[in-house]
Amino acid sequence: MASKQQDVKELVERKYKHGFVTDIESETLPPGIDESVIHHISRMKGEPQFMLDWRLKAFRLWQDMQEPEWAKLEIEPIDYQAISYYSAPKRDKNAPKSLDEVDPKLLETYDKLGIPLHERARLAGVAVDAVFDSVSVTTTFKEKLAAAGVIFCSFSEAVQNHPELVERYLGTVVPQRDNFFAALNSAVFTDGSFVYVPKGVRCPMELSTYFRINAANTGQFERTLIIADEGSHVSYLEGCTAPQRDENQLHAAVVELIAERDAEIKYSTVQNWYPGDEDGRGGIYNFVTKRGDCRGDHSKISWTQVEAGSAITWKYPSCILRGAESVGEFYSVAVTNNRQQADTGTKMIHIGRDTRSTIISKGISAGRAQNAYRGLVRMLPTADNARNYTQCDSLLMGNQCGAHTFPYMEIKNPSAVVEHEATTSKIADDQLFYCRQRGLSEEDAVNMIVNGFCRDVFRELPMEFAVEAQNLMNVSLEGAVG
């Protein structure tokens, strides 16, 4: 009979499914960063002066900043001069106007990832803004969205076509000086997504972006800005994968969300970047700053994330609850396996009266992985009757992994109510045996238990993502049976 430890060992020896490289000539800058690189990026993108100035300011701030060291992560030193900060697929000077003009190899890549870019996309009603390395390749459904007045385009296009919106909102949630990685991103970001939903508009479809890092030794620094104007509603889906490589790649993204009065933003992520091999070789270093600002009264921002990939995840999607009666939510499943490390969680900053926040965090550790939840709930003196509910559950598989919970609370208003619940459990042999005794194979039993553990989060995902997330879990647990 296979021992539990063997089972877990087999379970963690699954192979990464998206580990292929697309052979396309890239225009890549030589490694290194200085002001000339910033100038080059800005010039390549034909940016207005304000953008260049903004980048340069960020770069100067970044030079005096230090990498954060408080996270429970062991990271090899990153040589920022060894990274190339710009990589674009080579193509004709004119951007593709339709899918027919897009390099078939690119489309093939997306096909392997199962991204519904073709007709399937239309049927599924998903608009995809696909980011290949740093340049947005194609954007579908623009017309339909335009009819509703929704702007959904690459960040570069937004800078060209809607500079006034970009200038007004960029950096207002995550300022350049916010942290080391946000400052670096602000200096060198090459593309990303931009969404503006005008007053009173309910976005007619789920917006979706797939990011993919392809070129070797390329950092990807995308920047996403989503603005939901008064009374509007938008749901945004983000999916990520990256090919398999022996060296580590840096990913430092920034996402800013702004919800005006009565507006609602739902932001869902399924992150499956390459996690590295069994011995921790390769894999993405994922340092992401995501923050939403509930600027107006009765606004709502909801983060849902399923973090399954990356060698290192450093990510705290947060909400600033400024407007009265605004609502922040954070639903997270973080899975770490082999040598993966995750330090993830959220910050809920309650400023307005009667603000409410909910945090549901589920961490799953297997192999020799380390998984930490780090969360801050801050109730400012102005946050009368604010409420927070936090629930952090950790599931351990095997006895070589770790789960850690770091809840921080700063309560400066006596009327605030903060609740915190935390559990840590092993995927109990008893649970496995119970399911197997009912006739389920070990693999099915593990899948069932893990999916049950994650249910509170999965049910927050849009339907098509919920299925993907469940499949991702099952793939992660493939080979559990000896």
Partner 1 sequence: MLLNIENLHASVGGTEIIKGLNLQINPGEVHAIMGPNGSGKSTLAQALAGKPGYEITAGAVSYKGENLLELEADERARAGIFLGFQYPVEIPGVSNVYLLKAALNARRKESGQDEIDSVEFMRLVREKAKLMQLDQAFLSRGVNEGFSGGEKKRNEIFQMAVLEPDLAILDETDSGLDIDALKVVANGVNAQRDGQRSFLLITHYQRLLDYIQPDFVHVLAGGRIVKSGNRDLALELEANGYDAVLAAAAG
Of residues 153 and 461, the one with the C-beta less far from partner 1 = 461
User: Which residue in the set 451, 474, 475, 479 belongs to the binding site for partner 1 (CB under 8 A)?
Assistant: 451
Note the helical H segments in 102-179. Answer: 104-113, 119-124, 142-148, 155-161, 163-169
Check binding of 431 to partner 1 (CB under 8 A).
Answer: yes
Question: DSSP readout, 353-417?
Answer: TT-EEEEEEEEEE-TT-EEEEEEEEEE-TT-TT-EEEEEEEEEE-SSS-EEEEEEEEEE--TT-E
When asked if residue 5 is in the footprint of partner 1 (CB under 8 A), the reply is no
Burial class (CB in 10 A: 0-12, 13-18, 19+), 153: buried
Region near partner 1 per CB under 8 A, out of 188-196, 220-228, 282-290, 428-436:
428-436
Q: In the complex, what is the shortest distance from the CB of residue 444 to partner 1, in angstroms, rounded to a whole number?
A: 7
Residue 10 binds partner 1, judged by CB under 8 A: no
Among 33, 453, 465, 476, binds partner 1 (CB under 8 A): 453
With CB under 8 A as the contact rule, the residue among 173, 227, 342, 449 that binds partner 1 is 449
* Residue 455 touching partner 1 (CB under 8 A): yes
| 424 within 8 A of 454, measured Cβ to Cβ | no
Nearest of 204, 121, 192 to residue 153 by alpha carbon? 192
Spatial separation of the C-alpha atoms in residues 297 and 82, rounded to whole Å:
46
| Dist CA 200 CA 202 (whole Å) | 7
What DSSP element (H or E) covers 53? helix 49-63
CA–CA dist 175, 289 (Å, integer): 11
Q: Does 408 bind partner 1 (CB under 8 A)?
A: no
How many other CB atoms sit within 10 Å of the CB of residue 470? 18
Radius of gyration of the chain (CA): 22
Q: How far apart are CA 184 and CA 220, in angstroms?
A: 11
Query: Is 471 a residue that touches partner 1 (CB under 8 A)?
Result: no
Residue 429 in contact with partner 1, rule: CB under 8 A: yes
* 436 is a contact residue toward partner 1 (CB under 8 A): yes
- Please choose, out of 94-102, 137-145, 287-295, 437-445, the segment that lies near partner 1 by the rule CB under 8 A: 437-445
Rule CB under 8 A: is residue 467 a binding residue for partner 1? no
Site track 124-143 with partner 1 (rule: CB under 8 A), x = hit: --------------------
Site membership for partner 1, residue 2 (CB under 8 A): yes
Residue 161 φ/ψ, nearest 5 degrees:
-100, -25
Phi, psi of 136 (to 5 degrees): -70, 125
* CB of 474 vs partner 1, minimal distance in Å: 13
Please report whether residue 438 would count as binding partner 1 according to CB under 8 A.
Answer: yes
Which one among 24, 99, 121, 448 touches partner 1, defined by CB under 8 A?
Answer: 448
Cα 271 to Cα 434: distance, rounded to the nearest angstrom = 32
Which residues does residue 237 pair with via DSSP β-bridges, in sequence order? 208, 268
What is the distance between the terminal CA atoms of the chain, rounded to a whole angstrom? 9
Q: How far is the CB of 481 from partner 1 (least distance, A)?
A: 9
- Taking CB under 8 A as the criterion, the residue among 77, 164, 437, 463 binding partner 1 is 437
Alpha-carbon dihedral 42, 45, 51, 54, rounded to 10 degrees: -40
| Candidate list 36, 63, 441, 471; residue touching partner 1; CB under 8 A | 441
Does residue 21 bind partner 1 (CB under 8 A)?
no
Q: How far apart are CB 401 and partner 1 at their closest, in Å?
A: 20
Among residues 129, 230, 329, 442, the one that binds partner 1 under rule CB under 8 A: 442
Of 277 and 442, the one with the shorter C-beta distance to partner 1 is: 442
Query: Is 435 one of the binding residues for partner 1 (CB under 8 A)?
Result: yes
Min dist CB 245 to partner 1, Å, is: 36
Segment near partner 1 (CB under 8 A), from 231-239, 298-306, 371-379, 444-452?
444-452
Contact footprint for partner 1 (CB under 8 A): 1-4, 428-431, 433-442, 444-445, 448-449, 451-456
